[in-house]
Chains A and B, each alone.
Chain A
């Protein structure tokens, strides 16, 4: 079946530094990947849609200069949280789409900014 690998699972960084999160589709080519943010005990908030070879589409209210998304290949998308601050601490989840009905989620990344 479709597998999406997300790394790291947990990361702690200092305020002002940048953190990169990777999302890989291991056994299929993902033309589209999605990045979500989840606050404690809340639902998933779509941050951006990443299409291979083109710029990501950000949802309203998401700072594109803060959350850099790169989808350089059909199997890899990265989210870089730049100049991280404590309020960026959250659970980030990626999802890869193989077809209109096939969405597979990564295991998530717990980011803590201290």
Chain B
């Protein structure tokens, strides 16, 4: 079945540091790939997505590139802010199933 392996947290960084959260997946076919963010006590918000190989999703300074050859979708940001503190989930979507499969989530804390 489909699965996601996500970098374990928690991750603690200082403001303006570089962020990478690794995500690799196994899925049948060619899934679309998503990163969601969850702020404390809230639901999930779509951060970015990529629908085919070599696509780069970007939003709010975050980027992730769909790497079909390595089945990865690593999340990066060049300079994190305190307001980026949240839990980040990687999620492939197999279109036929129409279901998202979530990674374990990575807690990010950015210190001022």
Known: A41-B107, A97-B98. A107 touches B32 (CB 8 A): no
B55 → chain A, closest Cβ, in Å?
12
Q: Which residues of B contact A (CB under 8 A)?
A: 32, 34, 36, 41-46, 49, 51, 89, 93, 95, 98-100, 102-105, 107
Interface residues on A, range: 20 to 34
Decide if the interface of chain A is mainly helix, strand, loop or mixed: strand
List residues of A (23-64) whose CB comes within 8 Å of B's CBs.
32, 34, 41-44, 46, 49
CB distance from A105 to the nearest CB of B (A): 4
Cα–Cα, bound, A44→B88 (Å): 12
Given contacts A100-B95, A101-B32, A103-B100, are A108 and B105 in contact (CB under 8 A)? no
Shortest CB-to-CB span from A102 to chain B, Å, is 9
CB <8 Å contact, A93 and B99: no
Output the nearest chain B residue to A93 by Cβ-Cβ distance: B43
A7 CB–B CB distance under 8 Å? no
The reply to whether the CB of A85 lies closer than 8 angstroms to some CB of chain B is no
Task: Knowing A43-B89, A49-B99, A100-B98, say if A105 contacts B45 (CB, 8 Å).
Answer: yes
Q: Are A43 and B102 in contact (CB under 8 A)?
A: yes
List residues of chain B with CB within 8 A of the CB of A41. 105, 107
Separation of A33 and B43 alpha carbons in the complex (Å): 15
Please, what's the 1-or-0 string for A99-114, where 1 marks a CB less than 8 Å from any CB in chain B?
0110111111010000
The answer to whether B42 and A108 have CB atoms under 8 Å apart is yes
Residue from B45, B93, B100, B103 having most chain A Cβ neighbours under 10 A = B100
Given contacts A100-B95, A104-B46, 19 further A-B contacts (CB under 8 A): A32-B98, A34-B99, A41-B105, A41-B107, A43-B102, A43-B104, A43-B105, A93-B43, A95-B44, A97-B98, A100-B93, A100-B98, A101-B49, A103-B34, A103-B100, A105-B36, A105-B43, A105-B45, A107-B42
